[in-house]
Amino acid sequence: MREYRLTRTTKETDISLCVCLDGTGRAEISTGVGFFDHMLELLTVHSRMDVTLACKGDLQVDAHHTVEDVGIALGDGVKAALGDKRGIARFADRLVPMDEVAAQVAVDFSGRPSLIFEDMLTGKVGNFDMELVEEFLRAFSTHAACNLYVRVLRRGNRHHMAEAVFKALALCVRDAVKIVSDTVPSSKGMLE
């Protein structure tokens, strides 16, 4: 089982995380930010990772630190669980519709982090600032050491746009971390 547990404590957040790449999509998530919990549950279910996550953050300030630090922790957990990345597919891309919107995501677990998010989300869903979706993705891609490309192809309901992004990311993670061989998927013979 490719699994990793961590705790991460700062003055802004206290996070406990267990991530298992070879799971069934079991989600036990509590960040105190309801909409974000919903998006993380979608990510977990559709990636088929098992994720147990508890975060206590300085929500009296706002949700920024919680969202960013969860992205850091989840990225660290995925990277650690991947180990030397032997046998993984490495690359994946998906297009996901959600009612009137659609999102496209591509990922490469290359060891070189980069986020390209062509169409920043703005506004709010309830009390959740949609710009925090990009903050989560940036923290995740940096700490998972992956290239991550995100594009909202058709805009519409903000909830639907975020949901399409998280579902497309989930499917990419599921496909890219899948074991498909017994070699490291790189002409260099290693992925950092």
Q: Where are the domains of the chain?
A: 3-177
pLDDT of residue 185: 82
pLDDT digits (tens, 9 = 90+) for 127-155: 999 999 999 999 999 999 999 999 999 99
Whole-model pTM: value is 0.96
More confident residue, 110 or 187: 110
DSSP per position, 148-167? EEEEEEE---HHHHHHHHHH
pLDDT digits (tens, 9 = 90+) for 3-32: 999 999 999 999 999 999 999 999 999 999
pLDDT of residue 188: 82
Average pLDDT across the chain, whole number: 96
**CATH of region 3-177:** 3.30.230.40
Local confidence band at 59 (pLDDT 50, 70, 90 cut-offs): very high
Burial 31-41 (b: 16+ CB within 10 A, else e): bebebbbbbbb
Instruction: Kindly tell me if the per-residue pLDDT of 189 is higher than 90.
Output: no
Q: How far apart are CA 190 and CA 73, in angstroms?
A: 24
pLDDT digits (tens, 9 = 90+) for 156-182: 999 999 999 999 999 999 999 999 999
Local confidence band at 187 (pLDDT 50, 70, 90 cut-offs): confident
Q: For 130, which DSSP code?
A: T
For residue 7, count CB atoms less than 10 angstroms from its CB and return exposed for 0-12, middle for 13-18, buried for 19 or more.
exposed
